[in-house]
Amino acid sequence: MSRVIATSAALPQQEPARVNLLGMPLAAMEQYFLDIGEKKFRARQLLKWIHHHGVTDFDAMTNLGKGLRERLRTEAEVRAPEIVSQHDSSDGTRKWAIRVDGGGLVETVLIPDGNRATLCVSSQVGCSLDCSFCSTGKQGFQRDLSAAEIIGQVWLAIKSYDAFQSGKGRVVTNVVMMGMGEPLLNYDNVVAAMDLMMEDNAYGISKRRVTLSTSGVVPALDELAKVSEVSLAISLHAPNDALRNELVPINRKYPIARLLESARNYIDAQKDSKRVVTVEYTLIAGVNDQREHALELVELLRDFPCKINLIPFNTFSQSDYQRPSGNAVSRFWQVLVDAGYIVTVRTTRGDDIDAACGQLVGQVVDRTRRSERYREAAQNKENNL
Ligand code: SAH
Ligand code: SF4
């Protein structure tokens, strides 16, 4: 007994961890205030200071009493992740590299387009799912982002334009969870952050303008259907299981039929009957971009409520895949359009700053050692010939 006391007495005094209010949605914040003996409405005031005015200093929150401000100063904080660098593309795209606690880097991209501006937000440092065409997958998984680090990307983007309530119009009109990471593998934090995106006392973005993209974590998608009404995009990339198993390995666990069923249930659970799923299809030269693939896709998606978004593969140094020619993309597109689908082709934005899909954090570390394994396999094949 005495030894235990002696040991703990010798430990350095640790600062109690402060709760970061940046990532706290309305309901959780109301509970937080109730727990400290305050009225619920304080939560709305706090949210407005943080997300409408961009204020992080409790002393500047003038409608809170002095006692409450003092208390918040000692036990809470409003802390955004740190911007390491910012790059502006000649086409108006802006990309930030952001350092999160523990030293990992993620990227966030703002893509202006007429009177809209879409923010592409990351949900994890790296990704464990190892899709064969994705540079994030090549880094392996480091950790989940907290809700504060996810919503913090929206906060930083607005801050960087000095546009918190400046009357300059909305800097971020749409959000897509299409940056680094698989959002459904960081479910709770992503749901909390998306709540704040749509919350009127925070960013007030409509549910149709917040899109979650998933490679197909089916059980989590089934859960999401019960709590969320954001728009859904699924990363299909192949019209059959054999090919999708190669490109999107999670398909071996949750094959195409299960993913489509789960996505259909998600749409059916929405009150708004006109909604559709966006099917993302990255076109890789000679791999999944042939006429036979387009015809198979037409059959697969027959009667499935969707629009299709074709994404010509964006190259990066560790990949041997090639981007298809403009003609190959057009031919693929035409087959789908002739079959009656609504099909868009994603134009590459921010090419000069490596801000395109799947290129985020340019200098990737291949923690999966996949490129090495591929090279070894190719070498063995050659040796055996
Ligand atoms: N993990 C989620 C969201 C992040 S990836 C998902 O996979 O859906 C966002 C989109 O970019 C996905 O459709 C993904 O397949 C695509 N993508 C990844 N790497 C790409 C690349 N090199 N070129 C084109 N699209 C890519
Ligand atoms: Fe992860 Fe999405 Fe990249 Fe696949 S495409 S490795 S799920 S980030």
With residue 345 as reference, give the H or E element that holds it.
strand 343-345
Mean pLDDT of the chain: 89
282 lines ligand 2 (CB under 6 A): no
Instruction: Say if residue 134 carries a ligand binding annotation.
Output: yes
Of the chain, the percentage scoring pLDDT greater than 70 comes to 86
**Euclidean distance between the first and final Cα of the chain, in Å?**
71
Higher pLDDT residue, 73 or 357? 73
Among candidate residues 322, 325, 343, the one with its CA nearest the CA of residue 334: 343
The pLDDT of 182-189, averaged and rounded, is 98
280 lines ligand 1 (CB under 6 A): yes
Nearest CA to ligand 2 atom 2: 182
- Confidence at residue 167, expressed as pLDDT on a 0 to 100 scale: 54
- From the alpha carbon of 135, which atom of ligand 2 is closest? 3
Please name the fold of domain 82-375.
TIM Barrel (3.20.20)
Cβ density class 17-54: b for 16+ within 10 Å, e for less: eeebbbbbbbeebbebbeeeebeeebbbbbbbbbbbeb
Active site residue 357: yes
Active site residue 107: yes
Pairing verdict, β 116-120 and 105-113: antiparallel
Residue 278, C-beta contacts closer than 8 angstroms, at least 6 positions apart: 211, 213, 231, 232, 233, 234, 306, 307, 308, 309
Query: CATH classification of 19-77, choosing from 3.40.50.300, 1.10.150.530, 2.60.200.20, 3.40.50.10540?
Result: 1.10.150.530
CA–CA gap between residue 95 and residue 106 (Å, rounded): 11
pLDDT over 50 at 367, yes or no: no
Residue 203, C-beta contacts closer than 8 angstroms, at least 6 positions apart: 51, 154, 172, 196, 197
| Under 8 Å between Cβ of 57 and 70 | no
150 lines ligand 2 (CB under 6 A): no
Residue 90 neighbours by CB distance under 10 Å: 9
| Under 8 Å between Cβ of 324 and 310 | no
3-state secondary structure of 112: strand
Bridge partners, 99 (sequence order): 82, 105
Q: What digits encode the pLDDT tens for the residues 137-167?
A: 999 999 999 999 999 999 999 999 988 876 5
Q: What digits encode the pLDDT tens for the residues 261-317?
A: 999 999 999 988 789 999 999 999 999 999 999 999 999 999 999 999 999 999 988
Which of 153, 235, 254, 361 should be mutated for ligand 1, with most atoms under 8 A from CB? 235
Please tell me the least confidently modeled range out of 147-161, 178-192, 348-362, 368-382: 368-382
Higher pLDDT residue, 384 or 256? 256
| Under 8 Å between Cβ of 19 and 77 | yes
3-state secondary structure of 277: strand
Q: What is the pTM of this model?
A: 0.90
With residue 84 as reference, give the H or E element that holds it.
strand 82-88
Q: Which two tokens stand for residue 340?
A: 């009656």
The pLDDT of 115-130, averaged and rounded, is 96
**Domain-wise residue ranges, the chain:** 19-77, 82-375
Nearest CA to ligand 1 atom 3: 178
211 lines ligand 1 (CB under 6 A): no
With residue 185 as reference, give the H or E element that holds it.
none
Residue 25 CA, ligand 1 centroid: distance in Å? 28
